[in-house]
Amino acid sequence: MSSAAADLSIGAELVSEPYLADARAELLYAQAAAVRRHPPGKDVHIEPETARRMGFKGPILSGPQTYAFLARFIADKFGVAFLCGGALDASFVKPVFYGDRLTAHLRLLRENGDAREFEAWVENQDGVKLAIGKASVRRTP
Amino acid sequence: MSKSKSIEKLASDHSAEEGKADVMGPLFYIVSPEQVESFSEAIGSQNPLFTAASPLGVQFAPPTMRLRDYALLQRKFGGSVPSMKGAGIHTRQRTEFHSPLYVGQAVKASGRLRATYIEKGRQCGDIEYEMRDAYSDRLLERHIITYTWIGPKGESK
């Protein structure tokens, strides 16, 4: 656990470095996570025309990829205190488009016994929240 | 006995669970260093815990690296999710992290369709699935994924 994360006070916020959501990031994630592609004409994550037909302005990143970015940020900050006994609950409330520059955020809500509970979210370069939820980590690694 | 052969035996020992109502799996695999490294790169991680030089002496897998196991389970075991035209969009993900997966670990994954329902006029479903150590049966991660269906022209299903 980083020293900054260990010394948090209620209401304190942690912010990640930006993560560029683009075609390269989508491809790397899809390969690493063994994502099975949808048939041509049905893949909203890589096909602009399919995405438009489904009501989006362009291809969207998958929810699990956004979730993975948020989980990675928490793991970077809290290490085994998150990996052993932590939890993450996130809803994907708006689409992530190619070109979005994402940041992950944590705000400490309360300390409850051995658990620290955070508001957790991912927002884009315009400050629009795209995924919102809660996370918990153990206070003692 | 090689580890891969052991995994095959574990799989055959569990074959009786296949076909049970609402159960998808189990499927078995060994966590590979190649996937840990490629997944770490894909999510922009430089966390030393996920490297071969981990300060804890064990190369852990990044959280959510196997989040897509639900799709493998559905593909292999059919699952009971209705087949629909269009796209399933993930709308929510919940995970309990009990113990991190690590390189070389044999893992057993299984799941079930937890619920289907209509929310705001859309067809939704929850799939619950978990990963356990294939030998000790220790719980590693438990997930619930919620999806909603969008038709081929963007309509609600």
Instruction: Give the pLDDT confidence score for residue A4 in this predicted structure.
Output: 59
Residues of chain B contacting residue A42, judged by C-beta atoms under 8 Å apart = 86-87, 152
Q: Per-residue pLDDT for A12 more than 50?
A: yes
CATH architecture assignment, domain B3-31+64-150: Roll (3.10)
Q: State in Å, rounded, how far the first CA of chain B is from the last one.
A: 50
Those of residues 71-100 in A touching chain B at CB distance below 8 A are 71-72, 74-76, 79-80, 82-92
Instruction: Give the pLDDT confidence score for residue A104 in this predicted structure.
Output: 98
Taking the CB of residue B142, how many other CB atoms lie within 10 A of it?
17
Instruction: Give the pLDDT confidence score for residue B16 in this predicted structure.
Output: 46
For a pLDDT cut of 90, what percent of chain A falls above it? 77
The domains of chain B are located at 3-31+64-150
| pLDDT level of residue B86 (50, 70, 90 thresholds) | low
Give the start-end residues of each E strand in A5-127: 13-15, 19-20, 86-92, 101-112, 115-123
CATH architecture assignment, domain A3-20+60-138: Roll (3.10)
pLDDT tens sequence across B18-67:
445 568 889 999 999 999 999 999 999 999 999 999 999 999 999 999 99
Q: Do residues B40 and A28 lie in contact, with contact meaning Cβ atoms separated by under 8 Å? A: no
Contact at CB, A89 and B35, closer than 8 angstroms? no
Residues of chain A contacting residue B56, judged by C-beta atoms under 8 Å apart = 80
CA–CA dist B66, A32 (Å, integer) = 10
Instruction: Give the pLDDT confidence score for residue B84 in this predicted structure.
Output: 47
Residues of chain A contacting residue B98, judged by C-beta atoms under 8 Å apart = 84-85
The interface predicted TM-score of the complex, written ipTM, equals 0.90
Contact at CB, A75 and B98, closer than 8 angstroms? no
CA of B55 vs chain A CAs: smallest distance (Å): 11
